[in-house]
Amino acid sequence: MKNVSTLMEGQIILPLVQAPSAELGIEIARAMQAGGLHSVEVVLRTPESLAALAAIKKALPELSVGAGTILNVEMLKQAIDAGADYIVTPAVTPKLLEALVSCGVPVIPGVSKPSDIALAYEYGVREMKLFPAELSGGAAFLKAIGAVFQDVKFCPTGGVSEANRGNYLALNNVFTVGGSWVATNEWVAQGNWAAITEACKAANLPA
Ligand code: 3PG
């Protein structure tokens, strides 16, 4: 099975799709794809987000589509049923980790402190999301963690921006950074797809 970092190859930003509807989800993902990206994460935070995930998979079949904000086993099952290519969570519990490691698609469980990392590590997880990245200690935290958990790679998300992404991407235990700044709710409300495309292009340039 591929891991998430392999799915991300050639892409250093994992853009979040916050979809108010399936139709708008497709437009957002299409704009991201036009910005040169081949993978997006649909966060399951709106009533329509599961439908949006399935609709994006159908409309843009060459895109790999992750499901984010997976909080429990039921959401995990729904995301897999909707066609998620990989799974992202904001946090970990033993119950969730047990389901994640046997769910059949790559996963990046969310961690925010050394004990979370140790727990996920026990389940064999070697790629994790640091969330909320800036509030959890940011790049300095990941640098310190790298000395201890030498074979774990991270996708920091939460407070990452165009201005600070370089601090993370300079670390050899970061494979991509995640964020919503490349598709703001304002741009989506305005239908400003060009702004999303340009922000994705900029975010995917070496920092
Ligand atoms: C996430 O879902 O990972 C975060 O809420 C994204 O954080 P951001 O909006 O600061 O990018």
pLDDT at position 207: 87
Please give the order of strands across the beta sheet that includes 64-68: 107-108, 86-88, 64-68, 39-43, 13-17, 177-179
Domains, the chain, ordered by start: 4-203 (3.20.20.70)
Percentage of residues in the chain having pLDDT higher than 90: 99
CA of 148 to the centre of ligand 1 (A): 26
pLDDT at position 1: 67
CA of 132 to the centre of ligand 1 (A): 7
Q: Provide the whole-model pTM.
A: 0.97
**Which residue out of 27, 57, 127, 129 is catalytically annotated?**
129
Pocket test for ligand 1, best of 18, 42, 157 (most atoms within 8 A of CB): 157
Check if the beta carbon of residue 197 is closer than 8 Å to that of residue 184.
Answer: no
pLDDT at position 79: 98
CA of 157 to the centre of ligand 1 (A): 6
Does 41 qualify as catalytic in the annotation? yes
3-state SS assignment for residue 122: helix
pLDDT category at 120 given cuts 50, 70, 90 is very high
Q: What is the pLDDT of residues 11-67, one digit of tens each?
A: 999 999 999 999 999 999 999 999 999 999 999 999 999 999 999 999 999 999 999
- Region 71-89: mean pLDDT is 98
Ligand 1 pocket, residues with Cβ under 6 angstroms: 16, 43, 68-69, 131, 157-160, 178-181
Q: What is the pLDDT of residues 149-185, one digit of tens each?
A: 999 999 999 999 999 999 999 999 999 999 999 999 9
Ligand 1 atom closest to residue 158's alpha carbon, by position in its atom list = 7
